[in-house]
Structure 1
């Protein structure tokens, strides 16, 4: 493989017209320049320069290499400029995966700040797929995934940034007999018809585990895969549902929200990135913005429920 530095020395000699002039421009001795050219000629197996009076001129091979060196030098300069922009967060791509209920509350304000501070970064923003969302980060298909996990969530090769503890509330039809008290024991809902508010996955598992801890299995008489539909079913009187507070912010008419206890179901929300990912640049800005957005959400058991 040809040494780029020797090619640039050759280009300097050809451009300057002499070894002495090239040495002066590059800050080397003439003998050092001659040695570099000699090594390059040995590598390519053909003469690159020929003497003309007190100067030199390129052979056909020398002209060929000089033309290609110009292209290589230009490409290197462009690459260095691009890398500098990438390091500074002026360009690049950031793939973000998220689930629906954190979209308006966490992702939207975070991406707004990201666009403002790093306008040259292309943002690939899409909902999580049904497969393990952490796998997408591990494989490099996503730079960050916002996920739900247990309190002490750890995974080799990943860094999990805790964002928010999101408590579950029970959604009841307006006028329901159990809607009067501000807090309900989860066991009080054992005999009620239930609406499944999530597809199979960690959030639905949390509902099932909470009900099991309260001594019953919910009788699902209606199923949905999104909270808006589930709340619509509750408003229609089809049953009750557990809904995380973030998802309940767009509560519809005909639904009341109450806290539950014994147990108090909470989902823990994290931003997952690859271990060793630099904390600065666009990704660092995004993580800071997500944490700021999360800090503006009410802590569990402090926000009022909606009558």
Structure 2
């Protein structure tokens, strides 16, 4: 295999016209330069230089390697520039996964800020809902995922959770409901009500609600199942049951429902950004985390 450093020495000799001149330019002795060229000739199996007067000129093989040395030098310079841009966050790619309500509230402002601060970074953004997006990070398919935590089972090593916000659940009742006049409702007071589900297939958000109901001493009886918060509100407004919806999921409130705080207990889904620790050295990822935290605090 040809030695790249020796190819660059050969290039210096050819472009300067002599071993002595190349030695001066590179800060070596002429003997050291000659040894490097001789070693390269041994690797190549053919003469690379021939004497002309007091100087040297390349053979056909020497000229060929000199041209390739120039290409290698150019490619290395471009690679160093690209690496510097990547380290500085000027280029790169971020894979982001999220679930719907986090996408509506957190991801848009954070992504807009990322584009302003790191315009050269490409973003691979995908909605993973209602499934848990955390496995995408654990399998190395994503750099960051917005997740509801805790979840069942241990998390793989190399994943870090960054807390974003606590999102409390609210009771969603039809207008005219017997509890609609209360500002705060005990969760147990909803035990005998028909319930409207709002997550199918079941995911971590539903589990938070079921665990809270269990702590209040009952299991909800679902009369109607729906796949999203907007549809669930429509069923509640029609008087088909009550529902629990996280506050972040109530951005578009149905006019036929009332929303009340809960207690004893108050269900809360804890939202984190799950990131690969190996990717935390990327300035763009750190910038995105800062933007998500700011969006959550707003």
With normalisation by structure 2, the TM-score equals 0.94
Q: Specify the alignment match of 1:14 in structure 2.
A: 14
Take 2:3 and 2:237, find their aligned partners in 1: how far apart are those partners?
A: 73
Q: Specify the alignment match of 2:269 in structure 1.
A: 267
RMSD: 1.8
* Residue aligned with 1:90, SS: coil
Confirm or deny: 8 A CA contact 1:171 1:243 kept in the other structure: yes
Q: Specify the alignment match of 2:70 in structure 1.
A: 70
User: How many residues get paired?
Assistant: 296
* Residue aligned with 2:279, SS: coil
Deviation at 1:154, TM superposition (A): 5.5
Matches within 5 A, 1:30-109: 30-109=30-109
Confirm or deny: 8 A CA contact 1:151 1:268 kept in the other structure: no
Runs of at least 5 residues in structure 2 that lack an aligned partner in the other structure = none
Q: Specify the alignment match of 1:174 in structure 2.
A: 175
Q: Specify the alignment match of 2:161 in structure 1.
A: 160
Take 1:252 and 1:2, find their aligned partners in 2: how far apart are those partners?
A: 72
Take 1:130 and 1:222, find their aligned partners in 2: how far apart are those partners?
A: 18
Take 1:20 and 1:130, find their aligned partners in 2: how far apart are those partners?
A: 71
Q: 1:224 aligns with which of 218, 223, 226?
A: 226
Task: Specify whether residues 117 and 146 from structure 1 end up closer, same or farther in structure 2 by C-alpha distance, changes over 3 A only.
Answer: same
Q: Specify the alignment match of 2:294 in structure 1.
A: 292
* Residue aligned with 1:177, SS: coil
Deviation at 1:194, TM superposition (A): 0.7
Deviation at 1:280, TM superposition (A): 5.2
Q: Specify the alignment match of 2:140 in structure 1.
A: 140
Task: Specify whether residues 51 and 131 from structure 1 end up closer, same or farther in structure 2 by C-alpha distance, changes over 3 A only.
Answer: farther
Deviation at 1:191, TM superposition (A): 1.4
Q: Specify the alignment match of 1:24 in structure 2.
A: 24
- Residues 236-275 of structure 1 show CA distances to partners (whole Å, capped at 9, x for unaligned) of 2221111011111221211111111122111111101112
- Residues 3-40 of structure 1 show CA distances to partners (whole Å, capped at 9, x for unaligned) of 22111111111111111111222222212211111111
Runs of at least 5 residues in structure 1 that lack an aligned partner in the other structure = 297-307
Task: Specify whether residues 204 and 151 from structure 1 end up closer, same or farther in structure 2 by C-alpha distance, changes over 3 A only.
Answer: closer
* Residue aligned with 1:293, SS: helix
Deviation at 1:52, TM superposition (A): 1.1
Take 2:163 and 2:272, find their aligned partners in 1: how far apart are those partners?
A: 4
- Residues 67-90 of structure 1 show CA distances to partners (whole Å, capped at 9, x for unaligned) of 211221111111111111111111
Confirm or deny: 8 A CA contact 1:168 1:245 kept in the other structure: yes
Take 2:4 and 2:212, find their aligned partners in 1: how far apart are those partners?
A: 65
Q: Specify the alignment match of 1:300 in structure 2.
A: none
Confirm or deny: 8 A CA contact 1:154 1:160 kept in the other structure: no
